[in-house]
Amino acid sequence: MAIVSCTKRWQFVPGNGTLIINPAESTDSGLYKVEIYEDSTGRLVGEQEAVLNIAAAPVSDADLSISCPITAERRVRCSSNGDSPQYSWSLDGRALSGADADLSTDNQTVLLKGNVIGQLTCTVSNHISTTSITRVLFCPGQLL
CA-wise closest residue to 38 among 47, 27, 30: 47
Q: Tell me, what CATH number does 104's domain have?
A: 2.60.40.10
Counting every residue written for the chain, the total comes to 144
pLDDT of residue 27: 72
Q: Report pLDDT for 47.
A: 85
* Degrees to nearest 5, angle at CA 101 with 95 and 107: 70
Q: Please report the pLDDT score of residue 2 as a whole number.
A: 47
Residue 141 in domain? no
Q: Per the domain annotation, does 35 fall within a domain? A: yes
Domain membership flag for residue 34: yes
What's the start-to-end Cα distance of the chain, in Å? 70
Cα–Cα distance for residue pair 77/97, rounded to 1 Å: 16
For position 79, what pLDDT does the model report? 95
Kindly state whether residues 48 and 73 are assigned to the same domain. no
Q: How many domains does the chain have?
A: 2
Q: Which of 33, 52, 71 is where one domain is finished? A: 52
Q: What is the mean pLDDT of each run of 10 residues along the chain (144 residues)?
A: 55 73 69 82 85 78 88 88 92 93 93 88 92 87 55
pLDDT at 1: 43
Residue 142 lies in a domain: no
From residue 90, give the alpha-carbon distance in Å to each of 20, 50, 119, 130, 136. 38, 31, 8, 15, 12
Give the domain range for residue 23. 4-52
